[in-house]
Amino acid sequence: MPRYLLTFNKKRSVRFLSHLEEVRALERTLRRANIPLMYSQGFSPRPIMSFGPPLPVGFSSRAQLMEVKLDNQLTPEEIIFMVNSTLPEGYNLSDVKYLPDSYPSLGSFPMAISYLLLVEGNGIKLSINSFLSQPYYQVLREDKKRREKLFNIRPFVLHLAIINQEELSDFFKTMNLSYTAEDFCWLEHPDSTLLFFQSLYTTEGSVKIAELEKALNVKIIDGERISIARYR
């Protein structure tokens, strides 16, 4: 059966929807759009679909991933037209790719996730340099049995850097991002610093935004996920 990878934009008007609320909204959207979803077998059939890494509540995104299996093959253009005509306000389906059978499923391979973060705090440059110079930065997490354990987040931070306002235009071009003044009006926050943060996402884990906030001793006041790419 044909597999497709769908990439959605999550705009700022819906940034406070939780991951579960988003999953439900997108599943209902595909049904309303009459996308020929393939269903599981058994007493309670469910659409065969999976979702990419959850987004922190309060963040907008240019890279919300969803994988689906269909009963019939459609062109990417057909899927984009059918879905965008029924999506709730605040979402947009920006890209659809056909996936061959050999392509790994979502979550089964490492991904590099990139964010723009707006932060408040003093000595941010020193905090970044200090963090990046360390091979270890351990945080406490709970396992499935709710037992606390130490987890080293340092290897999962791929890139972390300050972006000056005058460098924004060049940064967007380098990242191949289109933008308008309306899209990025949230960046014009007084007394704040803009960070580019790229995290490794694997089956072993990743870096939580709250953990990065604590590691740098800053307050993250806003953010947007700008890309997800397969990490080699």
* pLDDT tens digit sequence for 157-206: 999 999 987 788 788 888 888 777 666 777 777 788 999 999 999 988 88
Give domain 111-230's CATH architecture. 2-Layer Sandwich (3.30)
* pLDDT tens digit sequence for 112-142: 999 999 999 888 999 999 999 999 999 988 8
Task: Count other Cβ atoms within 10 Å, centred on residue 103.
Answer: 15
Q: Are 104 and 197 in contact (CB under 8 A)?
A: no
User: What does the alpha-carbon distance between residue 126 and residue 216 come to, in Å, rounded to a whole number?
Assistant: 9
Kindly give, in sequence order, each residue whose CB lies less than 8 Å from that of residue 118, ignoring residues fewer than 6 positions away.
186, 187, 189, 192, 193, 194, 195, 220, 221, 222, 223
Identical fold between 3-99 and 111-230: yes
Q: Is the pLDDT of residue 228 over 90?
A: yes
* pLDDT tens digit sequence for 8-33: 999 999 999 999 999 999 999 999 99
Domain boundaries, given as residue ranges, for the chain? 3-99, 111-230
Fold of the CATH domain 3-99: Alpha-Beta Plaits (3.30.70)
pTM of the model: 0.89
* pLDDT tens digit sequence for 27-51: 999 999 999 999 988 888 888 999 9
Instruction: Please give the pLDDT value at position 164.
Output: 85
